[in-house]
Amino acid sequence: MFLTYIFIAVTVVVSYMAFNSPSLLDKLMMIPRKVYHYKEYHRLITSGFVHAGWMHLLFNMITFYSFGRVVEMIYLSYFGMTTGWLYFAGLYLGGIIVSDLPNLNKYKDSSYFSSLGASGGVAAVIFAMILYNPTGLIYLFFGLPLPSIIFGGLYLIYSSYYASGSNDGINHSAHLYGSLYGLAYTALTVPDVVPMFINQLQNGSFF
């Protein structure tokens, strides 16, 4: 759980600093035009460590805390400390990077588009957990329990739909591509997880 806590601590500190420094926020957030034309590639990662406000930050970090500790422990149990931490970092940071790539291509010439937040990395971790435990319950608002595989399917449908044409100010494509990355990355790094996933679906109880 060490790396989960480190990521959360760094994100909270950097986000707080950026809340009080517009110039710092401008240097760290994802601005496709500056990445593409000025080679400021650091933004693909640093954008995941700044947020639009306290609610945005708290929602992402609470969600990451809930799922990240378990997924990190799974990687450590498979690979040991050093390799396990490297794989877990690749899952989380890779999710942030991959979730930025579609907008990098789409808005590379835009003078107004920008995005920020850890949503891509958080989604990658959530979907890694779903692959490990598809029949486990995820508790939504008001304590409503939903099997993780059903939650994941609804989440992908929701993100895909809104990514195609929503104007609500939320980067839904980050959720979508972060989720898909989390599934692919986990299946590639832990080959046993796919047979385990199928076996749990065949033998598990959903409710």
CATH number at residue 144: 1.20.1540.10
Those residues with Cβ within 8 angstroms of residue 64's Cβ, 6 or more apart along the chain or in another chain: 4, 7, 8, 92, 118, 121, 122, 125
pLDDT value at 9 more than 50:
yes
3-class secondary structure for 85-149?
Answer: HHHHHHHHHHHHHHHHHHHHHHCCCCCCCCECCCHHHHHHHHHHHHHHCCCCEEECHHHCEEEHH
Query: How far is it, in rounded angstroms, from Cα 53 to Cα 25?
Result: 12
Range of the domain at 14: 2-203
Mean pLDDT over each residue of the chain, to the nearest integer: 89
CA–chain centroid gap for 51, Å, is 13
Mean pLDDT of 134-153: 80
Overall domain count for the chain: 1
Mean pLDDT of 83-103: 96
Mean pLDDT of 65-78: 94
Query: How far is it, in rounded angstroms, from Cα 64 to Cα 177?
Result: 17
pTM assigned to the model: 0.91
